[in-house]
Every structure is written in structure tokens, then in C-alpha cells.
Structure 1
């Protein structure tokens, strides 16, 4: 392996392989490594700049992309082209986020389906995976610039409550940014590792991790046994964070100065200036008693006491989440051995005091709360690089395992580098009415299309009772036991029909073949994900055409002549778009057909409901 020089602000050292730790946050993201000389985790930053990169992506008129501080300035001037909090959309469908859609200032597509959300900027459509990949790419380039060495391997952190789809989306974003994601680890686990908790071989500890970031709050209760972390419970509020503290201060000042909501929404510059001053006041009052400033000739005042009484209800909401988490974990507050503080907002003294009072012990806050998660990810990266000899690395799966889904796509159930033994499951459904069997084909590999991966096994689940498409629920589960044997099971949950197959260990690949498959997946990442996006767009378009046709067949009498003509034209345009190699065009035509059909679909629904109310069956 070629030796690569590393240069960190304080000195350089030859090192064979660099694995970085990345905290991909809702508000800010950053990269950390283990310093090759003093072996301590350190967040990467340039000279005196911040280690934090705002998780914001801006698209200009010509399609150029900027990320971070540079993109932040467009939040007010170009809200439609500036994407923030993309992490909230990871692995989500529109139905998952519709209650909070007003939170986003950019266009989140409502396609009324269970498919993943898309964000529209101009004529282009981006998935949350694309958006996160732009942030990760910026972090990768930043790290390479500081370290003067290529960075291709990473450990990325996610919230403990992230599900399988959200974790896989995070891996895909890494791959798209040119990173080989060796592990996805939970943020509370990373924070504990940064404090050295769980590094002792014999320790058994119960830990609470209180994480109050810019836009989200999480509390996790972890059990650490011999270096293995288990999440006992997690609770929180995905729309509560430091930004809410700032908002309270702004409203307080508006009341004091007699500024109305109408004035503030008409004057974006004043609104932004007040928000920035509020953030400044919050930070200043952490170590001072009174804050005073002027914005556009308005004098602003706030005392520490006033701020704390404003913040009290928000802090109480986080403590209520702590109560819930403790109850769910089935432990007593007295059993918590350590409380770890994460997130910039935990610097507020009133927050520290409330948490310390609730848990009845001082909190751990000596490590920079903005950096603690990334530093822990770097500790984990160091263990994976084999530099931390204290740690036994459990057996892991050399390549991802998954099944073929519609359009020949690979749906990963067990990502590569998962610890063995492990299990994972996901639900699927039928695509044709009355479909009575389902073929489940198991593949191994890192590419997005199954044709580029290695087929391992196949099983047929037959005897599914005839139901309309989309109704059967087939759960496919993978279990790898301690000997590395993979057992694949498929079960139709409504009828209980079941089938299973066993795949022998090691799957007969040499190290060189595994290495080649990994290399191919990175080399082709961009093309692969573009192909996947095109296949997914086509599948979505085809399904919409089928359901629209079916709907019109049943409800033609409810449509006006004009609606019928419009629908036929939009269907034709979509049909034509499906033959092109352009996913954005397909999404655009899907969106247009949805816009035309929405009014009469709602009319049909209203009519069905009113006839049901009259006591007639629908």
C-alpha cells in the first residue's frame, strides 16, 4: 500500500491509511481524526476558523452548488434555492413529514405516495441522499485540503432512532460523495466513546446522552457491556433546539419595541439581523449578566434572568423527554452512571443545571459539545483502522447483502461491515393485482443494480392469497449467525405463508475479489446512483399511469370533458418522458399529472364519503 503524507497544522507524519469520523448534523456537520502524534481525537479546522460546516446547500441559477457558510447567506435572499435540515428528510416519504411541511422554505414534492421525498429546485429534483452527499463531499474536500492527503474512508454518525432506510440513505450519500462508509454508528455511542466510556474491557455502565442541537433534541439511554453499546431507549423532539431559544428572544424584543409580525415578515433584513443578535445574546449570557445592543436604531436589552425565564418551558420539555426515556429504558435515575452533554445549546447554564438536577449528579461537559460526536466517530475509525490494539474487532460481513427489487435494483438489508451475528428485516408488497407468488433473489455486493452484483440464492414465496396490488405485506428477514451462515426468510404477514433458504458462509470470495468489488462500487458510484434514480423515477411514473388509468375507468362520470382531455395529454407526456433518459423530466411530468388529477381525486373521495354517511356501502 502506498504511503501518504499527512499534514496537520501542528506537524506531519507518514501514515498508511486515514479513516475519518464524520458528524453529519441537522444544523452543522464536521470531520475529526485521531492525531497521528499525540493519538488524541481532533476536529479538523483551518487555522482559526470553526470546525463546523453549516449543513446548508445553495443552488445558483446556473446550477452551481455551494455548501456551508457561503450557502448560509442565501437563506434569506433565496429561500427557494437554499436547502437546510436535509437530514430531517433522510429515508422519509412525504406522508412522514407532511405535518411539518411548513417548516421548510423550499419546495418539498407532495406526490402523495410512500416513495422517498424529493426537493425541487428550478427544473431539477433532488433526493435527500443527493443533498446530504453535497455536504459530505464538501467535508471530504475540506479534510483533504487540511490533511494534504486523499480521504476515502469514513465512519458516519446518525441519531439512535434512525431506522434501516435512514441509515442506508446515509450510506448511499457517503458513497455518492466518494466515501467508503465503513460504519454507521449512533451519535450517543460516539459521544460516549469521546469521553472514553465503553473503552474499558470489563465495565458495565448505564449512560444518559443529552443532545440539544440547533434544531433537534434527543435523549438516549445506553447500556455498555464489555465495549458493546446497546440503546435501551431514545426520546426527544425533532423540532426543538437552539434555534427555538433564539426565536423566543426575538419575540421578546419585538414585544418590547412594538414591532409587529407584519413588519418583520415584510423586512427580511431586520428579521435576519434580530435573529443573529438573539443568537449573540444567548451566547453572551452564558457568562455575563446583561446584554445590550442596537439594530436599525432599535435598542435591545436582555438580562440573564429574563432569558432563563423565557427558556424555562423549552428546557422543561427536554426534561419531560428524559423522564419518558428513563421509563422506557426501565431503569431508575439513580442507576445512571454518567450523563454526557452533546450539542452547542447545552452550553446554556440553565440547561446544565436542569439536567444535573434531574439526574442528581454533575454532567460530563468537558469535551466541546459541538465536536464530541465527531471526535467519538474518529475514535471508532481508529479502532477500525486497527490502530487501537486494545480493541477486539468482532467479525464483520465483507460485502453488503440485499435483494432484487422492481427495476433490477439492489435493496441492501445488511450493509457491509455489519458486526456478526446480525439480523435485519424489511417489508415489501406485490405490484400486480392477484399476484400469488413472489420471487426473492439474494445478492451480495456494493453496486446499485443487481446485474453488477453476485447472486447468492433465490427463493419463491408462493401461495400468497389473491389481493389487490400493494395490499399483501411480505416481510423479508436476513439473519447471519455467529458462523457466518445467512438465513433468508420470507413471510406474508396477512396469511402467514412462509419460506426460507440458507446460504453458506464466506460466499467463496477471495480478498482480492472483495477488494475489486469495493473499488468498482466507488468508481461507478455516480453512474450507479444516477441509474438507480432513473429506474426509480420510471417505476414511479409507470405506477402512476396504471393507477390513473384504473381510477378513470371507474370514475369517468365524475370528470368534466376538459379534465379528461387534460389528463389524457398529461398521461401521454409522461408516457413519452418514460422513454427518455432524464429523471428530472419524468419527475416533472409526474408532478404535472398529479396536479391535474388531485382536484377530481378529492372530489371522488368527498362523494364516496358523503354516500357512506347516508348509510350506503361504498
Structure 2
């Protein structure tokens, strides 16, 4: 593919989903894949015949769990002995082994046992984002900015750069996700007085809350708090646990150790959670869930909020810590930027609005895309794209 233009892309390499954007003709465009989706699941699945990436890989989770790899962001740049790695090992259906102190992922691929580093798996997702951008732009893409959590260590950042290199990308810069979110709004907002911005990032696998000071496009990170083991998937897990109990009550069957049945429930729970953001209740029907038994289940929004009440409270405690550690009060927060699909949950928005009553919530960019949006702006600037207004870029 011959290069017609020298584009640089911005990639939000997420724990659950990834997203890619580019500045073209002075406008940020978030790029849809071949399915028309602007979010690509950060999943890689291996079968006897092929390797799958994205939505097709995520679909394999129910039928091929041992060879469907996800949440690699929790492994990249860490040692096998790392507490965060050890805590997650029992929860992954795929194998992670110790290779001279480093984690390696073991799968069956093309009828053989294969081992991959976290960087190699992440590179497969990044290559998919690169291909998506190239199909959209009609030319080869060589340069990228990739975002990472603000708390990522040097080794995690370097491992992310290595993944990008394996994917065939020149990494112009690794930037913090909160900074990318602020850039996304700073790029199209005239801000000439110093303001305090709170970034509330509640994604599928993690919670990050950051406070930044911004003036004329200059950003200073004042504090960052996070819970790397708390995210939207934990809300799904609460629903699944409730569903398992309900199924046991109705049929007498315990599916606590049935990975395939639980994978079906997890997929249904995610759909229920999403639907409850717009509806008062939702119903799911799973045919032949286990031992020929069907499962019908209804969940009301109020019950969902009760099931997850402690998780919601924990997110607000994280907000409190971030504001206090920045040396501020809630009255001194001028803007809140919401990031991640889980912030669509009405209960979370109400709790934030109650906690920070005088703030302005930024809503013009889809929360799932705001980090990739900011990364795309930063990539264009570093690539000397003169169509981007320089005063809003740090």
C-alpha cells in the first residue's frame, strides 16, 4: 500500500476495547472498523484454523474460553510475581505461565501449543487498529500516539512502545489517558483562565480519577487515583453471581465451575447492564444454558443498583481522594470529563452531580472515544499537521 499522505493516528489501547482516531482536513475522525463499530474489543482468539482479533475473537469467549485472550493490559510490562498478576490468574480462563520471571500466555493455535508475550498479544490488537485506519484512509500508516493509564510504570510504558513497534508503528509518544481526555476538550474549547478539570474514567476493567489544571492548552496533572481491579466488568460479575443463584434456585443446578455457561451469562449480563441505562428493567432468555435447561431472567434497574451499591460508593471515594490529594475542594472543580462506557449508568452520573454540584459535565464527545480523540490531536501535532490549532496542545 503506497503512502499518499503522512498521517499519524491516535490509539486508545484499552483493557476491554480499543479505539483509533486521526486528524484529517483539520477534523478529528474516530474510525469505524469493517463492522461499522468505532470500538474494537481488545480480544485475541486462537483456533485450530486461524487467529481472530476484535469482535470475532470476543465471540469465541463462550465456545473457546481457554484460547481467548483478553485483559493483556494487566500483564504488559509486569513480572509474573507481581501481585496484580497473581490476583488475576485464577480469574482468566487462559493459561499464563512463568517464563524466567516474565508472564507468557499459553494457547492452542493451529493444533500446537504456542506461547506469546503480552507485548505480542497487544501488538496484534494494535496491528488491527493500524489496518482499520489504513482501510479508512486508503494509505499506509506508520506513526502513532498510544495512550496508557497515568499510573503506568516506566517498564509498562516501554512494553507498550515495544508492542507498537512489533505492530509496525513508529510510536511518536506515549501519553496519559487523562491528559488525552483533557486535550480532546481543550482542542475545541477556548480556555484562557486557569481551571481545574476532573477526569472520571470508568472503563470495563479499571477506574481512574485524575485532577488536572489547565490554562491555554497547558496541562498539569495534580493528582491521580485509581483502582486497577475495578471496572464495568465487575458490575457484570455482580449480575452473573445473582443469575447463577437464580438458576440454581429454579433448576437445582450449580454452574459455578461451568466456564461455557458462565461465559454465556457474562455476555447476557453485559447486555443487561447496557440496556438498564435506558430502561427500567431488562429480560434475558438463554436456551440450553446447562444440561439442557433454559434460563429466563428479569432484572430491574433498582435491583441492579442495589447489587452494585458498594462498587458505586467506592468510585465516589476515589473521587474524594483525587480532589483532596490535588489540594482542592469539590467547589473548586470547574469541569468533569467522563470517560468509558460505564459512565452511562444513570446512578453514577447522579452521584457525581450530587458530589460536585457546581461543575460542568463535558458531553460533546462520546465517552468511549474521548481518549482516542485526544490521542489523535496529539499525534497530528507531533506529525506537524498545521491544521491543528497549536495553542491547545501541551
TM-score, length of structure 1 as denominator length: 0.57
Tell me, in whole angstroms, the C-alpha distance in 2 between the residues paired with 1:94 and 1:3: 41
Pick from 360, 368, 371 the counterpart of residue 370 of structure 1: 368
- 2:354 corresponds to 1:357: yes
- 2:286 corresponds to 1:287: no
- 2:21 corresponds to 1:24: no
Structure 1, residues 194-228: CA drift from partner, whole Å, max 9, x if none? Answer: 22369657442221100111111111111224423
Pick from 319, 334, 338 the counterpart of residue 335 of structure 2: 338
Tell me, in whole angstroms, the C-alpha distance in 2 between the residues paired with 1:261 and 1:355: 41
Measure how far apart 1:291 and its partner are: 1.8
Measure how far apart 1:260 and its partner are: 8.1
Measure how far apart 1:239 and its partner are: 1.6
Pick from 344, 348, 356 the counterpart of residue 345 of structure 2: 348
Tell me, in whole angstroms, the C-alpha distance in 2 between the residues paired with 1:215 and 1:226: 33
- 2:42 corresponds to 1:52: no
Q: Is the 8 A contact 1:198 1:224 kept in 2?
A: no
Q: Is the 8 A contact 2:62 2:264 kept in 1?
A: no
- 2:240 corresponds to 1:247: no
Q: In 2 relative to 1, CA 285–99 (structure 1 residues): closer, same or farther, beyond 3 Å?
A: closer
Q: Is the 8 A contact 1:352 1:363 kept in 2?
A: no
- 2:175 corresponds to 1:176: no
Q: In 2 relative to 1, CA 48–124 (structure 1 residues): closer, same or farther, beyond 3 Å?
A: closer
Q: Is the 8 A contact 2:211 2:223 kept in 1?
A: yes
Q: In 2 relative to 1, CA 260–159 (structure 1 residues): closer, same or farther, beyond 3 Å?
A: farther
Tell me, in whole angstroms, the C-alpha distance in 1 between the residues paired with 2:252 and 2:226: 30
Q: In 2 relative to 1, CA 338–260 (structure 1 residues): closer, same or farther, beyond 3 Å?
A: farther
Which SS does the other structure have where 2:29 is aligned? strand
- 2:63 corresponds to 1:72: no
Tell me, in whole angstroms, the C-alpha distance in 2 between the residues paired with 1:46 and 1:199: 29
Tell me, in whole angstroms, the C-alpha distance in 2 between the residues paired with 1:299 and 1:260: 11
- 2:107 corresponds to 1:121: yes
Tell me the equivalent position of 1:278. Answer: 269
Tell me, in whole angstroms, the C-alpha distance in 1 between the residues paired with 2:74 and 2:34: 31
Tell me the equivalent position of 2:23. Answer: 34
Structure 1, residues 497-551: CA drift from partner, whole Å, max 9, x if none? Answer: xxxxxxxxxxxxxxxxxxxxxxxxxxxxxxxxxxxxxxxxxxxxxxxxxxxxxxx
Tell me the equivalent position of 1:311. Answer: 308
TM-score, length of structure 2 as denominator length: 0.88
Measure how far apart 1:262 and its partner are: 6.2
Q: Is the 8 A contact 1:336 1:359 kept in 2?
A: yes
Tell me, in whole angstroms, the C-alpha distance in 2 between the residues paired with 1:331 and 1:45: 39
Q: In 2 relative to 1, CA 220–341 (structure 1 residues): closer, same or farther, beyond 3 Å?
A: same
Larger Rg: 1
Which SS does the other structure have where 1:236 is aligned? strand
Q: In 2 relative to 1, CA 95–323 (structure 1 residues): closer, same or farther, beyond 3 Å?
A: same
Work out which structure has the larger RCO, using CA pairs closer than 8 Å and 6 or more positions apart in sequence: 2
Tell me, in whole angstroms, the C-alpha distance in 2 between the residues paired with 1:353 and 1:202: 29
Tell me, in whole angstroms, the C-alpha distance in 2 between the residues paired with 1:45 and 1:261: 44
Q: Is the 8 A contact 1:203 1:227 kept in 2?
A: no
Structure 1, residues 81-129: CA drift from partner, whole Å, max 9, x if none? Answer: 2211111111100121223321222222235x6x432223354332211
Tell me the equivalent position of 1:163. Answer: 153
Tell me, in whole angstroms, the C-alpha distance in 1 between the residues paired with 2:139 and 2:131: 10
Tell me the equivalent position of 1:499. Answer: none
Which SS does the other structure have where 2:390 is aligned? coil
The alignment yields a C-alpha RMSD, in angstroms, of: 2.5
Tell me the equivalent position of 2:291. Answer: none
Tell me the equivalent position of 1:108. Answer: 96
Tell me, in whole angstroms, the C-alpha distance in 1 between the residues paired with 2:142 and 2:81: 35
Q: Which runs of 5+ in 1 are unaligned?
A: 5-15, 395-418, 420-618
Query: Number of residue pairs matched?
Result: 378
Q: Is the 8 A contact 1:209 1:221 kept in 2?
A: yes
Structure 1, residues 439-485: CA drift from partner, whole Å, max 9, x if none? Answer: xxxxxxxxxxxxxxxxxxxxxxxxxxxxxxxxxxxxxxxxxxxxxxx
Q: Is the 8 A contact 1:198 1:225 kept in 2?
A: no
Q: Is the 8 A contact 1:193 1:199 kept in 2?
A: no
Measure how far apart 1:382 and its partner are: 2.1
Tell me, in whole angstroms, the C-alpha distance in 2 between the residues paired with 1:389 and 1:264: 54
